[in-house]
Amino acid sequence: MTQPPPRIQIGSFTVAFLTDGLWRNDGGCMFGVVPRELWKKDHPPDELNRIRLNLTCPLIIRGRDAILIDTGIGNRLSDVERRIFDHRDGWLPDHIQALGMEPGDVTAVVCSHLHFDHVGGIVRRRNSGLLEAAFPNARIFVQKGELEVASNTRNERLHAAYRHIGEILAPVASRIEAIEGPASIIGGVTAMPTGGHTRDHQICIIEDGGDALAHLADIVPTRSHMRGPWNQAYDLDALTTMKKKALYLGRAVAERTWVSFAHDDHVFAARVKNDAGRLVLTNGVMVSEGLDG
């Protein structure tokens, strides 16, 4: 039986930290220009140089609204890809059930961007092999520019980053709503473009009752990426990533509000404090060691 996911309260919103499971990816790709000697202590690499990562998907609940931010990898990977990324079937459906909910109760999905580890779980592969919408009643919010680049690019690097996109978007095409710029999903929940990781990457901000949570998605994928120069090799514009994370982390420090990370394997979310120039986490919502599928 899956444990119920940890939750925090942001005013009248409950935010549950679901995960689509732990996985592994190359440490060099995750830390870009930062040498392995510096990241290996906090993120010990395995014999294939992979580090352990999470697939954090916050679920924002109030009344009948249930807004999911990102969907993890899902269960669509081939056997070879499952070995490369050390990921099995996605855990998201079990974690939704552990909250006493069904996938059909999710009213909206906000996609930070369309890389496979954020959007793969928007579909489920049935035993027959057919892919179907994982959240059959959800409106799906994606930045228009992200959709355009993912669907139409001829650039070799971008094309590789979005090679899964036709298969994933086809079953949910009629549910997708392309948004341009900042967009209110419901009152108090805002999708906010940042660029940086991809040109149209967006974060999600939840505000109510004088408190707030910014899910920083892939501009601060782990706690270690709070440091300015620690950025993923995947970032198309690392200088924009640096500017935007300084803005939102600075705001979280000044206003004593929450941030959450897409991929940290220890902490889902925390408040942030400036300790003599170094950002430290307080009130951490921790990833339980007993996490299992």
If the CB atoms of residues 10 and 114 are measured against Zn ion, the closer one turns out to be: 114
Does 117 engage in binding with Zn ion (CB under 5 A)?
yes
Minimum CB separation of residue 176 from Zn ion in Å reads 20
Nearer to Zn ion, 117 or 207 (CB): 117
**265 makes contact with Zn ion (CB under 5 A):** no
Q: Could you say whether residue 207 binds Zn ion (CB under 5 A)?
A: no
235 near Zn ion (CB under 5 A): no
CB of 11 to Zn ion, least distance (A): 28
Nearer to Zn ion, 207 or 218 (CB): 218
* Options 49-57, 70-78, 116-124, 170-178: segment touching Zn ion (CB under 5 A): 116-124
Longest CA–CA separation in the chain, Å: 57
**Identity of the residue, 117 or 265, whose beta carbon is nearer to Zn ion in the bound complex:** 117
Per CB under 5 A, does 218 bind Zn ion? yes
Nearer to Zn ion, 42 or 132 (CB): 42
CB of 56 to Zn ion, least distance (A): 10
On whether the CB atoms of residues 91 and 121 are closer than 8 A, the answer is no
Stretch that binds Zn ion, among 67-75, 97-105, 126-134, 217-225 (CB under 5 A): 217-225
Residues that bind Zn ion (rule: CB under 5 A) add up to a total of: 2
Q: Does 200 bind Zn ion (CB under 5 A)?
A: no
CB of 26 to Zn ion, least distance (A): 13
Q: Which of 276, 249, 244 is nearest to 260 (CA)?
A: 249
Q: Closer to Zn ion at the Cβ: 89 or 264? A: 264
Query: Per-residue b/e over 91-109, b at no fewer than 16 CB within 10 Å?
Result: bbbbbbebbeeebebbbbb
Site stretch for Zn ion (CB under 5 A), options 113-121, 155-163, 238-246, 276-284: 113-121
CB 119 within 8 A of CB 20: no
In the bound state with Zn ion, the residue whose beta carbon lies nearer, of 107 and 143, is 143
- Give least dist CB 218 to Zn ion, A: 5
The smaller minimum CB distance to Zn ion, of residues 57 and 99, is found at 57
Q: By the criterion CB under 5 A, which residues form the site for Zn ion?
A: 117, 218
